[in-house]
Structure 1
Amino acid sequence: MRTQHHSGPVAPVGRLERLTGGTGPGAQPRNPLENQPDTQLDIVSANRSGKVTGLTTFTPLPRRWSPLVRSVLRVKSWFGPDKTLRRLSFIHVAYWAMVDTFPGQTRRQRYSYLLFVSNFNGSWLDYIDVFSRTVPHKMALLWGSSFGFPGAMPPRPFTDYIRGNDWELSHYFSAYPGATATELASALRVRERFAAELARPEELDDVHLVRAWNALLADTQRDL
């Protein structure tokens, strides 16, 4: 998992203009995912591609806090991914960035926005619950200045807060929708070892070919 500043186009293309309206913290654009019953919180088909789920949130905060949050993100980038979250193989990527202006704006925005983008496998609710329970203080450090942030614990208010700011994506694509991040990493390790040990099997006699094949199976059995 990594934190960084994002320089490319964000996922919810065509919806950014809806964030520029309103004059106060309570005047955020209406999110189509708000006020859903509990049974629907974990089902947003537009944000899924096979086994992969995308999460994109914009949370408004007073502009005066933007430099501080930006500094926190920079420090996190220096120290690298959180060691606890890095062990969670179902997270493809997660990063935060400050947005002070949007493309095409002719005047200064009253509020800044904290952008969070992530891709992961598995349950949406379980994913947010992991952040809440595992690194609550770091979540408070990042979102603490955003309007309406309820705190990372207990998990349910934090889950409701993230869901209320999660955007239904216009387009979401996965090159390998039938595979998880763990499965893809395993496949890459097997391919790398196969290329190293059996790149030219025609050059091996039967005895050495069998030995190389058995060694390959033994060394990569956890990935098969």
Structure 2
Amino acid sequence: MSNIAGKAYAMNVVTPSKPWLTWVNRLIFMVARGVPSVLSGLMGLSLIHFARWVLIKPSQWPDLGQGKETLRNDYMLFCSNFNGTWDQYIDAFSDGIPNGLDLFWYTATKYPQSIPVATFKNYITHNQVFTDYYYNATPGSAQRDVKSAMQVNRAISELAQAHATQSPEEFAKTYQKHLLKVQNCLGEPGFGPVASLDTERADMNRMRAVQNMATVFDYERG
């Protein structure tokens, strides 16, 4: 299990729904895509990298050698990557788009509503599927770090163009202007403070694995 990669946490939740009800969820998803303003609360949560809801019919589950399964329910798969702790994420979701969550899980079996948050957390915990392998291309950078880096990169490109055509005096003014524009984007990427024991244990396990691999590599090379 490895739900954590640097500053990011991967969440997968699988919830059952009665097949004769999931058409309601499909309609809700169509409306949400057509009227994205209903998700404005979700878009404003800067800790989220990615969030997706997918409806899966019994016939759509892959056969990976276990044989064809007989399932009575449709299932909804919720996938998300976010920064911060599990509790912070669920709290932010419940506070930010409580009505949206209730709509998206409208047909889910025994869904308790997103408020009060305690019962919602219990529901997510019961249906969460832990991640066996989680890769993050920028484990030391949160979503804001990535956006900030993109702003700095654009500023550097503009400075490079200005440097080729401006006098030293003009370029000094341009440099100061761009520096003021990106001064809040110059944070240092890296692992955040330990927010939970899960984070600490994941980092310790990852460190041991890297050290073991390095030992094997050095032995084989020597």
Give a deviation string over 1:125-156, Cα, whole Å, max 9, x none: 11111222232222111213211211111101
What one-letter code is carried by the residue in structure 2 that aligns with 1:73? F
SS in structure 2 of the partner of residue 160 of structure 1: helix
**Cα distance in structure 2, aligned partners of 1:86 and 1:46:** 26
Q: Tell me by how many angstroms 1:196 deviates.
A: 2.2
Equivalent of 2:151, from 178, 189, 196? 189
1:148 aligns with 2:110: yes
Does the CA-based 8 Å contact 2:24-2:107 persist in structure 1?
A: no
Structure 1: 5+ residue stretches without partners: 1-44
- Corresponding residue number in structure 1 for 2:169: 207
Equivalent of 1:131, from 84, 93, 98? 93
Does the CA-based 8 Å contact 1:73-1:97 persist in structure 2?
A: no
1:76 aligns with 2:32: yes
Q: What is the aligned-residue identity percentage?
A: 27
Does the CA-based 8 Å contact 2:2-2:134 persist in structure 1?
A: yes
Give a deviation string over 1:198-219, Cα, whole Å, max 9, x none: 2362443311221121111012
How big is the alpha-carbon RMSD for the aligned residues of Structure 1 and Structure 2? 1.9
- Corresponding residue number in structure 2 for 1:87: 44
**Cα distance in structure 2, aligned partners of 1:107 and 1:64:** 19
1:119 aligns with 2:81: yes
Q: Tell me by how many angstroms 1:103 deviates.
A: 2.1
Structure 1, 48-57 or 143-152: larger mean CA deviation? 143-152
Moved over 6 A (4+): none
Equivalent of 1:66, from 19, 22, 26? 22
**Cα distance in structure 1, aligned partners of 2:62 and 2:26:** 19
- Corresponding residue number in structure 2 for 1:103: 62
| TM-score between the two structures when normalised by the length of structure 2 | 0.75
Larger Rg: 2
Give a deviation string over 1:46-77, Cα, whole Å, max 9, x none: 10100000111110010011211111112111
Does the CA-based 8 Å contact 1:94-1:117 persist in structure 2?
A: yes
| TM-score between the two structures when normalised by the length of structure 1 | 0.74
Does the CA-based 8 Å contact 2:5-2:139 persist in structure 1?
A: yes
Does the CA-based 8 Å contact 1:193-1:216 persist in structure 2?
A: yes
Equivalences, count: 180
Give a deviation string over 1:143-194, Cα, whole Å, max 9, x none: 1321121111110110111111111112101111111100110110111122
**Cα distance in structure 1, aligned partners of 2:146 and 2:96:** 25
Structure 2: 5+ residue stretches without partners: 187-222
- Corresponding residue number in structure 1 for 2:214: none
Equivalent of 1:166, from 107, 128, 143? 128
What one-letter code is carried by the residue in structure 2 that aligns with 1:95? R
What one-letter code is carried by the residue in structure 2 that aligns with 1:87? G
- Corresponding residue number in structure 2 for 1:56: 12
SS in structure 2 of the partner of residue 198 of structure 1: helix
